Structure 1
Amino acid sequence: MAKLNFDLQHTDTLSRARTGKITTDHGEILTPIFMPVGTVGSVKAVNQQQLTNIVQAQIILGNTYHLYLRPGIQVLEQAGGLHKFNGWQKPILTDSGGYQVFSLAGTRKIKEEGVYFQSHIDGSRHLFSPEKVMDIQRSIGADIIMAFDECPHAGCEYVYARKSMELTHRWLDRCLARLAETEGRYGHTQNLFPIVQGSTFKDLRIASAQYIASKNAAGNAIGGLSVGETEEEMYAFTALSCEYLPADKPRYLMGVGTPWNILEGISLGVDMFDCVMPTRNARNGMLFTTQGVMNMKNKKWANDFSAIDAGFENEISNYYSKAYLRHLFVSGELLAGQLASLHNLSFYLWLVKEARRHIIAGDFTSWKQEMVQRLKIRM
């Protein structure tokens, strides 16, 4: 077993974009990287073989809140952890459940000891404390685990944001203490990433980033920037956070976002991204492509027999036609959501791989500017 290692390999001369390699006990991750979201241990509509062979994912996410409720910790422990339960043998990251608790605003109470909430499944009552969240993530067995934090809502007042940030910092100390007194269950190292908070207040973001950096964790995350703020605010506070987070540790921008958000995030110094958008939008007929955003239910595609996207190599995007995929959507076929999800995820992974290639080649900034404009086109 070895602690997560980050090897910073290349930096762009005109931006803060960089490439690196994260090494975990379940394999290597080349950055920048996008991580498909498998909330309950499953990336929706996509199986593990497809994630490996078609999407070429290097790491996926699970969620502490959802896995705790279903299938439950006892099942996961009996299986030998999430890797054995779902058959994914590459790295896994688990979100602590802080964002899910945030989304349960009507049925949760935040206290110093933790968060009391009701299950969205059956209404049962539970407590998530920092200690319990660490214990649950020990049982899940992810390679990268997130500290339990409080995620303030967009537009909150300064006083609330400050109190929330301070609570997040106290909870982080309790997370670290709990990990220090416990051990992993399945023979591989688990690495904690703390989370920068502070809403959209400059002094709070700086204070939080400095506090998080002082913990010398294996990596660091930037939270609370995909909760309703403007894109301009997202970019500004991502850049600010990256200024104060150590360059020799991976930086993870949580819950972001569109392809152009990801490219802008890379240019600001972010290494890791996740979002449900590729699969959620795919199921509704929205595809992200090298030529822009496509609404596959649009009648304009009914007689378009060209490939879904010939702009990059992929056995789904190059094989099926726009007309056929539209036909599947208007017919209500389950295959529509699966093919669209495979395309969108493959596109996201291709995009970060291309970003890496251009950073190494030294022309990332000009390529990024051109791509961002193209990606925003609506078709």
Structure 2
Amino acid sequence: IVVLKPENQMTPEEKKLFETRQRREEKVKVPVEKIDLSQRRIINLGKVNARSSGTVCGPKAANLGQLKRMFPEHVVEGIVIPFGIFREHLDQMMPGQTVSYWEYLNNIFSQSGQMRESGKSDRETELFILEELGNFRKAIGQITLMDGFLEDLEASFLAAFGKKIGDIPVFLRSDTNMEDLKDFTGAGLNLTLFNVVAYETIIQGIKDVWASPYTERSYKWRQQYLLNPENVFPSILIIPSVDVDYSGVMVTKGISSQEEGDLSVAFNRGAGGAVEGQAAESYLLKADGRNILRVPAREPAYYRLPSAGGTKKYFTTFEHPILNDNNINSLRNIAERIKRQLPSAPGIDTNGPFDVELGFRDDQLWLFQVRPFVENKNATASDYLNSLNPDIRGNKWINIIAPQDIDKDADR
């Protein structure tokens, strides 16, 4: 049921559904005392856990490392370029300048502070910062990678993946310490490179990921919330690409049923399944063992991740379901393990429900990310919204060919 009306005609109960919690206005500091910048060697994914977040790497790597420890057969191998390696590179002299990259970055923010104190307008100060950050970002994109780091990278690739750089497609994911802050709402601010293979592309990709926190969009987000925006450090998570047959999301709760024992599942073919706007195959997996198909898939296009890199587009038909019985059993099993094991893991401060990103390749389940599921408490508890759902008797038949010929009150 869809209800459309002008805002000035909404009832107080309806307006309450769209209320947003205002974030506190005071700015916060990135907790630099927590960061360990002395870690200047690449780390195997299995060596980090949830407690590593904001210390040596960002939460993406830390949480995936936690999953690798708990569910090793369902998580790919990986390596992490920690904050300290980026910080070490900033001690090099910046080309065309008489100071290091680190000094140049700090000078940007100290000079902008002086401009404000001298009465310069916010707009003038912002234009100065954006221009200087643009210069800094361009320089980071051309930074010389240290010989020791390159040797470490090549050795780590071979040890983790069994192949040299250039022989296996990988994802490079930016993972900053600001993402570990409470109320972080800047998801997607920084760069992720998908399914890249060539040696030169990966090397340049590392530089581009390091540079991405200094874009105008990222800066403007930080400027709203941070007192020390110069102390934002990127780490990089590198994992091999998984060319999944189909992928999607699972929430360890019944979203429609509001039952804690149920599971909500949505899948599409190929990579990146069940993202916003896709017509996904959706199930409600009931705690009593029933598997209820809520919506069949109706997304004709999907993407695969070829070993040569990039993506390749395909099209499908709809006469067969995406998930088979074995897949659904695997989903039930991994959900039960996640709900039982994850809340007691170090650094995990929630009992769920969890939002799980995952995929299947040759019926093998792969976990890509698990995070707390966030829902609109106002909407789920609303008697008003519940009242919009009609009370339909389960034994009533409706003739979808000619419903006008059926007695509305007749049961069969």
Range into which the TM-score falls when normalised by the shorter chain: under 0.3
Q: Which has the larger radius of gyration?
A: 2
Q: Identify, as 1 or 2, the structure richer in helix.
A: 1
